[in-house]
Amino acid sequence: MKALCWHGKKDIRCDTVPDPQIEDPRDAIIKVTTCAICGSDLHLFNGFIPGMMRGDIVGHEFMGEVVEVGSDLRSKSAKLKPGDRVVVPFTIICGECEQCRRGNFSVCERTNRNRKIADKVFGHSTAGLFGYTHLTGGYAGGQAQYVRVPFADVGPVKIPAGMPDEQALFLGDIFPTGWQAAVQCDIQPEDTVAVWGAGPVGQFTIRAAVLLGAKQVIAIDRVPERLSMAQAGGAIPINFEQESVIERLQELTQGRGPEKCIDAVGLESHVGLKHPDTIYDRAKQALMLESDRPHVLREMIYVCRPAGVLSVPGVYGGLIDKFPMGALMQKGLTVRTGQTHVNKWAQDLLRRIVEGEIDPSFVVTHTASLDQGPDLYKTFRDKEDGCIKVVLKP
Amino acid sequence: MHQSRAQTVAAGLGFFSIGLGLAELIAPRLVRQALGFRCSDSVVRLYGAREIATGVGILIAWKRAPWVWARVAGDALDIASSRSPAGIAALAGVTAVDIATAARLSREENVPLPRRYDYSNRSGFPRPADEMRGAARTKKERASGPPSFDTTVRV
């Protein structure tokens, strides 16, 4: 089969690799009909997340048709059967451990095959992830024609007949990620919610904040087309290359600051002369003295209204420097973060799509074949050609 | 989004300004002799502080045009302080670049950037965004309360 494989920093290729096989009675093999390149895939592409090995299949946003199941899924009462259309959450869950039973699916205690490495690095292991380093299990990803889905009796979300792939696909990651980012802010009707980053996750976060009733939603980015899409979704745009984020946010909140701040940027914040701390971070990153660039975290802590909430769906991988812990503590801010508990939200969000409350396909700007994937990684990374979300058809 | 040529030149002028300012602070006599300034070393040091301030301003400002115009004003002061034809010629050359850059930046920074891709019709909502505000709180959640992070969902 064809698959997009990681071969090193800035080197992803469309290779021919062996087809996946059933390895466990709870497995299923999915024929991928649509997959996507996620912003967090760019961290792998740019070499900022450790733990990749040459030849690893990437991709954790995918959906398709079940073509084969393991022995546990062959009974008549099995949740999945060949022919079903499913979206597969990027977090692999067992559904049985204590964290899964609590609904904390992204920290499932059983699905990371390399949990000893993760225990060493993070203190405790988190869930296995598709196509996202050997720290999270080293599972083959879904930017491929076929993928093996472990624990297929609990993870995949069945999609109703007739729903286009582009509407359903994002239930596997960015839609619930944006939703969780907003929900964990505990949005109140009088709240101003500021969202840093108007990429795909930022776009869904903005719409979630609007649907959850925020009085005012503000999008912060530098790319005009992303800001125009954010504005379409109900946000007030701030272009940080044209105006001061702090001054504009203070102006929009009568000097109080936004009650809720969401970081949909993560570890690769933009580096520019207008934000000298980003140059400092980039220099330290180059010298391997810091792994992540936390400019957005610093700005959020500074501008957030005291007793406010910071929500961090953006991916961070390691260590940051010059973190204003004093301001965070003195202002009494709450931080909520984590990988998305996709299965906690997916059924509810699927209902919202079916009922017409939202159509997630608005975010798709580029559709291409798997062969074109390596080129589109570059297009997406460089934000060229109006690229916001790339969908691939294997 | 790429920087315009004027922005790039302005950044170069910013670094040049800082470099010249440091030279004026550290070696005022050398600079005074090279540019033919008829003033004391202390005044040259003040000029150096001015150069550094405008250079930093150019590099970190949201709008660079005012800072480059400030350089033009400084250039006029430098030219007025010089009695050397070679020095005046060198200062006039830099002034010409400053004026051209400041004029172009003034034009660029006062017009909205062109938008090549218009996604203003991509809301994802069935109705205008303002009408969707709070929609998730007004359907079934009205009875059961809004979505909560602490809700336990079993698979």
CATH number of the structural domain spanning residue A226: 3.40.50.720
Tell whether the model's pLDDT for residue A276 goes beyond 70.
Answer: yes
B145 domain-assigned:
no
The mean of the pLDDT values for chain A is: 95
d(CA A38, CA A128): 17
A251 pLDDT higher than 90: yes
For residue B152, which residues of chain A lie inside 8 Å, CB to CB?
A: 101-103
Q: Establish if B84 belongs to a structural domain.
A: yes
Task: Tell me the residue range of the domain where A37 lies.
Answer: 2-173+340-393
pLDDT at B82: 92
Do residues A182 and A291 both lie within one domain?
A: yes
**Which residues 76-115 of B have a C-beta within 8 angstroms of A?**
113, 115
A126 shares contact with chain B (CB less than 8 Å): no
The Cα B155–Cα B150 span in angstroms is: 15
Distance set, CA A56 to CA A19, A102, A134, A144, A391 (Å): 14, 32, 9, 11, 20
Q: What is the mean pLDDT of residues A268-286?
A: 85
Task: Please indicate, yes or no, if residue B15 is contained in any of the structural domains.
Answer: yes
Model confidence at B143: pLDDT above 60: no
Q: How confident is the model at residue B7 (pLDDT cuts 50, 70, 90)?
A: confident
Task: Report the share of chain A in percent with pLDDT over 90.
Answer: 89
Helices (H), B61-128: 65-81, 85-109
Tokens standing for residue B15? 């670094």
SS3 A384: coil
Which residues in chain B are closer than 8 Å to A336, comparing Cβ atoms? 149
Same domain, A181 and A160: no
- Per-residue pLDDT tens over the stretch A125-171: 999 999 999 999 999 999 999 999 999 999 999 999 999 999 999 99
- Pair A29, A120 in one domain: yes
- Region B2-9 average pLDDT: 79
- What's the mean pLDDT in A2-31? 96
The residue assigned the tokens 């969401």 is A262
CB pairs under 8 A between A and B: 137
B69 within some domain: yes
With contact defined as beta carbons under 8 Å apart, do A195 and A217 qualify?
A: yes
pLDDT of residue B141: 57
CATH number at residue A93: 3.90.180.10
Instruction: Name the band, by pLDDT with cuts 50, 70 and 90, for residue A309.
Output: very high
Residue B138 pLDDT: 62
Which residue from B minimizes the CA distance to A204?
B124
How far apart, in whole angstroms, are the C-alpha atoms of residue B144 and residue A348?
A: 13
| Full domain range(s) for residue B30 | 5-109
Count of structural domains within chain B: 1
- Count of Cβ atoms closer than 10 Å to residue A21 Cβ: 10
B124: which chain A residues are within 8 Å (Cβ-Cβ)? 203, 207, 232-233, 358-363
pLDDT at A301 over 60: yes
- Say whether both A158 and A132 belong to one domain: yes
- Cβ contacts of B1 on chain A, cutoff 8 Å: 222-224, 241, 383
Q: Which of A208, A347, A386 sits opposite B116 (nearest CB)?
A: A386
- pLDDT-derived band at B135 (thresholds 50, 70, 90) equals very high
Pick from A103, A226, A359: CB nearest B151: A103
Percent pLDDT > 70 in chain B is 83
CA A245 to chain centre: 24
The closest CB to that of B60, out of A103, A274, A361, belongs to: A274
Residue A300's pLDDT is 98
- pLDDT higher for B2 or A277? A277
Q: Which candidate, B45, B58, B148, B108, places its Cα nearest to that of A336?
A: B148
* A69 or A271: which leads in pLDDT: A69
Q: Tell whether A304 and A201 lie within a shared domain.
A: yes
A194 and A264, same domain (yes or no): yes
Q: Does A216 share its domain with A292? A: yes
- Residues A15-22: contacts with CB within 8 Å, 24+ apart? A15/A55, A17/A55, A17/A57, A17/A144, A19/A146, A20/A140, A20/A146, A20/A147, A20/A148, A21/A148, A22/A68, A22/A69, A22/A70, A22/A148
Per-chain mean pLDDT for chain B: 86
The beta-carbon neighbor of B115 closest among A155, A184, A224 is A224
Question: Can you tell me the distance from the alpha carbon of A60 to that of A41, in angstroms, rounded to the nearest whole number?
Answer: 8
Chosen domain end from A305, A321, A337: A337
Per-residue pLDDT band at A388 (split at 50, 70, 90): very high
Number of structural domains (chain A) is 2
CA distance B73 to chain A (A): 23
Predicted local distance difference test score (pLDDT) of residue A172: 97
CA distances from A121 to A98, A125, A319 (A): 22, 8, 11
Tell which of A337, A354, A373 closes a domain. A337
Three-state secondary-structure class, residue A69 = strand
Q: What is the ipTM of this complex?
A: 0.91
Q: Assess whether A183 and A316 both reside in one domain.
A: yes
For residues A71-99, average pLDDT: 94
pLDDT of residue B146: 54
> In chain A, what percentage of residues exceed pLDDT 70?
100
Give the pLDDT of residue A76. 80
**pLDDT-derived band at B114, boundaries 50, 70, 90:** low
Q: Which helix (H) or strand (E) holds A15?
A: strand A12-16
Categorize the per-residue pLDDT at A9 as very low, low, confident or very high, splitting at 50, 70 and 90: confident
- Structure confidence by residue, pLDDT tens digits, A353-367: 999 999 999 999 999
Same domain, A134 and A260: no
Q: Name the packing angle between helices B41-60 and B5-26 (round to 10°).
A: 150
Give pLDDT, residue A182.
Answer: 97
The answer to whether the beta carbons of residues A338 and A103 sit under 8 Å apart is no
Q: Are residues A365 and A241 in the same domain?
A: no
pLDDT beyond 60 at A219: yes
- What confidence score (pLDDT) does residue A273 get? 78
**Residue B145 pLDDT exceeds 80:** no
Please tell me the predicted confidence (pLDDT) of residue B1: 39
The pLDDT of residue B94 is above 90: yes
Helix (H) or strand (E) holding B14: helix B5-26
Domain boundary among A291, A311, A337: A337
List the structure tokens of B128. 């205008």
